[in-house]
Structure 1
Amino acid sequence: MARPVWSGTLSFGLLNIPVSLMTGERKTDISFRMLDARNNARVRYERVNAETGEEVPWKDIVKAYEYDKGSYVVLEQEDIASAAPESHDAIEVEAFVEAGSIDPRYFEKPYVLVPAKKAEKGYVLLRDALEKTGRIGIARVVIRTREHLCAVMPYGKALLLLMMRYPQELVELEEYNIPEGDRGDYRITAKELAFSEQLIDTMSGDWDPAEYRDEFRERLHKVINDRMKADGVVRHAPEAEAEVAEGAATNVVDFMSLLQRSIDRNKRTPAKKAAPAKKAARKATKKAAAKKSPAKKATKKAAARKRA
Structure 2
Amino acid sequence: MAAPRAVWNGFLKVGSVTCGVKLVGATTETGKVHFKILNRKDGLPVKSAYVDEGTGEVVPAEDQIKGYEADKGEFLEIEPDEIKKLKLTSHHTLEVDGFVAIDDIDTRYLEKPYYVIPADGAAAESFNVLREAMAKKRVAARSCVVLYQRGREVVIQPFGKGMLLTELRTHNEMISEESVFEDLNSPKFDNDLLEIAGLLIDKKVTKFDPSKFEDTYEDALIAMIDAKRKGKKPPKPTPPPKENVVDLATVLKKSLAKEGIKDRPKAKPARKSA
User: Which category of TM-score, normalised to the shorter sequence, fits these structures?
Assistant: 0.7 to 0.9
CA contact (8 A) 2:116 2:163 kept: yes
Question: What is the correspondence of 1:20-31 to structure 2 with a 5 Å cutoff?
Answer: 20-27=22-29, 28-31=31-34
- 1:145, distance to aligned residue in structure 2 (A): 3.0
- 1:134, distance to aligned residue in structure 2 (A): 0.9
| Separation (CA, whole Å) in 1 of partners of 2:139 and 2:37 | 48
| Separation (CA, whole Å) in 1 of partners of 2:20 and 2:163 | 13
- 1:99, distance to aligned residue in structure 2 (A): 0.7
How many residues matched?
Answer: 226
Q: Gaps spanning 5+ residues in structure 2: where? A: 232-274
- 1:93, distance to aligned residue in structure 2 (A): 1.0
SS of the residue 1:49 aligns to: coil
CA contact (8 A) 2:111 2:167 kept: yes
2:16 corresponds to which residue? 14
CA contact (8 A) 1:85 1:145 kept: no
- 1:218, distance to aligned residue in structure 2 (A): 3.5
2:26 maps to amino acid: G
Question: Judging changes above 3 Å, is the alpha-carbon distance between structure 1 residues 229 and 120 closer, same or farther for their aligned structure 2 residues?
Answer: farther
Q: 2:146 aligns with which of 127, 142, 149?
A: 142
CA contact (8 A) 1:62 1:74 kept: no
2:175 corresponds to which residue? 171
SS of the residue 2:97 aligns to: strand
Question: So what's the TM-score if we normalise by structure 2?
Answer: 0.73
SS of the residue 2:165 aligns to: strand
- 1:46, distance to aligned residue in structure 2 (A): 2.0
Question: What is the correspondence of 1:1-308 to structure 2 with a 5 Å cutoff?
Answer: 1=2, 2-27=4-29, 28-66=31-69, 70-77=72-79, 80=83, 85-118=88-121, 119-178=123-182, 181-184=185-188, 188-221=189-222, 224=225
| Separation (CA, whole Å) in 2 of partners of 1:181 and 1:84 | 52
Q: Gaps spanning 5+ residues in structure 1: where? A: 231-308
SS of the residue 1:220 aligns to: helix
- 1:160, distance to aligned residue in structure 2 (A): 0.6
Instruction: Summarize deviations over 1:14-36 as a string: whole Å, max 9, x none.
Output: 11111110001122432111223
| Separation (CA, whole Å) in 2 of partners of 1:207 and 1:104 | 16
1:171 maps to amino acid: I
| Separation (CA, whole Å) in 1 of partners of 2:211 and 2:197 | 27
1:289 corresponds to which residue? none
- 1:80, distance to aligned residue in structure 2 (A): 4.5
Name the Cα RMSD after superposition: 2.5
SS of the residue 1:73 aligns to: strand
SS of the residue 2:88 aligns to: coil
| Separation (CA, whole Å) in 2 of partners of 1:178 and 1:204 | 31
Q: As a proportion of its length, which structure holds more helix? A: 1
- 1:100, distance to aligned residue in structure 2 (A): 0.7
1:65 maps to amino acid: Y
CA contact (8 A) 2:70 2:76 kept: no
- 1:95, distance to aligned residue in structure 2 (A): 0.4
| Separation (CA, whole Å) in 1 of partners of 2:90 and 2:28 | 28
1:299 corresponds to which residue? none
Instruction: Summarize deviations over 1:63-85 as a string: whole Å, max 9, x none.
Output: 223356x5232232266456673
1:258 corresponds to which residue? none
CA contact (8 A) 2:95 2:143 kept: yes
| Identity fraction in percent | 29
CA contact (8 A) 2:9 2:119 kept: no
CA contact (8 A) 1:84 1:146 kept: no
Instruction: Summarize deviations over 1:204-237 as a string: whole Å, max 9, x none.
Output: 122222222223324434555676789xxxxxxx
